[in-house]
Amino acid sequence: GGLAAGIFIIGMLAGRLGSGRIIDHLQPKKVLLYGVIFSIITIALYFTITSLWILMLIRFIHGIAFGFSSTATGTISSRIIPENRKGEGIGYYGLSVTLASAIGPFIGLVFNNHLGFKSIFAISLLSILIAFVLSIFIKRLLNHNLEAKDQPSGMHAYLQKEALPISLVVILIGVAYSSVLSFLSIYSEKINLVTTSSFFFIVFAIVTFITRPFTGKIYDNYGENKVMYPVLLSFTFGLIILGFTHTSIILLIAAAFIGFGYGTIVPTAQAIAIQQSPANKMGLATSTFYIFADFGAGMGPFILGIIIPFIGYRQLYMAMGMLVIIALILYYYVHGRMHKN
């Protein structure tokens, strides 16, 4: 399972790396449709798996397809949102991603427990087919045609330089959040709170759903710093509280702080990455942002898995709280101090 997930992440990063520039030069809807079609093909191929090597190949191709389609949706949402409502609009888009991340695993567990593992492939195939139908109805967007002299080369052809500073901050945030995503179930067993932990992401999703609309409006009306500093601190408090957890109520309080913090940091940072970049490079800015976000979340479990035997789970969450403080300081130096608001 861990190897398959790692292969998927590698494929996804490859898809993100190649998709940004393509989206800026082609019709974003066309890239989305191609990505969804390849996702349909790869998910259907899961039913034919006969060996580990075939599984790894399909997971890699599926990762590439997901990288293309998800970058396309992020770019489309950024292009259609008015400039003066960027924070609010991207916040709503991010909310859809958060809800999918919370609902998806829950549905997967229910189907796996009652109908068997292959039922997950069936519901995934149905979901992506619905996504394909919905994608057809997305309006075409005007392309931003770049002059030959404006064509980026080298590293800048794949990474948008204006999006890099905030993306570096998000790497640290991704590593910190991976400690929750990957190790909460094991930690909850050790502290005898398994039943309560099943409600952790429900509280996380509810708090995110409630707070996302007004944090987006604060971003648009008062600037990114008025949002980023409080939510970075909220994420820090949530992780530290998680490390101190001994009771169910404390665990759910930690979920609320983490939901408000992490659930707001990512879309806010994405809005910053896009607004700092030229309008004709939104696709490249979006892919750059997600490459770093995915890299942090993908590498986190491997790095933290090595550390846990030496410090334990409680100290791990304390350390992750300190990592978010480092991310806050980094944010101040790479962006916050230059945009005082």
The token pair that represents 222 in the structure block: 């008062």
**Residue 317 and residue 152: Cα distance in Å, rounded?**
41
Closest CA to 43 of 130, 103, 123, 132: 123
Burial of 208 (0-12, 13-18, 19+ CB in 10 A): buried
pLDDT above 50 for 34 = yes
Instruction: Tell me the average pLDDT across 231-248.
Output: 95
Where residue 150 falls among pLDDT bands split at 50, 70, 90? low
**Residue 288 and residue 295: Cα distance in Å, rounded?**
11
Where residue 251 falls among pLDDT bands split at 50, 70, 90? very high
What pLDDT is stored for residue 225 in this prediction? Answer: 93
pLDDT above 60 for 306 = yes
What pLDDT is stored for residue 151 in this prediction? Answer: 54
Q: Which residue has the higher pLDDT, 27 or 155?
A: 27
How many Å is the Cα radius of gyration of the chain? 20
The token pair that represents 263 in the structure block: 């659930």
pLDDT tens digit string along 89-104? 887 887 787 777 767 7
pLDDT above 80 for 5 = no
Residue 312 φ/ψ region, left for φ over 0, alpha for ψ in the -120 to 50 degree band, beta for the rest:
left
**Residue 313 and residue 185: Cα distance in Å, rounded?**
11
What pLDDT is stored for residue 148 in this prediction? Answer: 43
- The percentage of residues in the chain with a pLDDT greater than 90, rounded to a whole number, is 35
DSSP 247: S
Give CA separation, 56 vs 17, 66, 82, 149, 299, in Å: 20, 15, 41, 41, 18
**Residue 259 and residue 231: Cα distance in Å, rounded?**
9
The token pair that represents 199 in the structure block: 């409600």
Highest mean pLDDT among 2-11, 104-113, 150-159: 2-11
The model's pTM: 0.82
What pLDDT is stored for residue 277 in this prediction? Answer: 83
Half-sphere exposure for 116 (CA within 13 Å, toward CB) = 3
Closest CA to 63 of 132, 2, 10, 141: 10
pLDDT tens digit string along 55-114? 889 999 998 999 889 888 888 887 888 877 877 788 788 778 777 776 776 677 677 777
Residues 6+ apart with CB under 8 A from 139: 29
- The number of beta carbons lying within 10 Å of the beta carbon of residue 195 is 9
What pLDDT is stored for residue 149 in this prediction? Answer: 46
How would DSSP label each residue in 123-162?
Answer: HHHHHHHHHHHHHHTSPP----PPPGGG---GGGGTS-GG
- The percentage of residues in the chain with a pLDDT greater than 70, rounded to a whole number, is 91
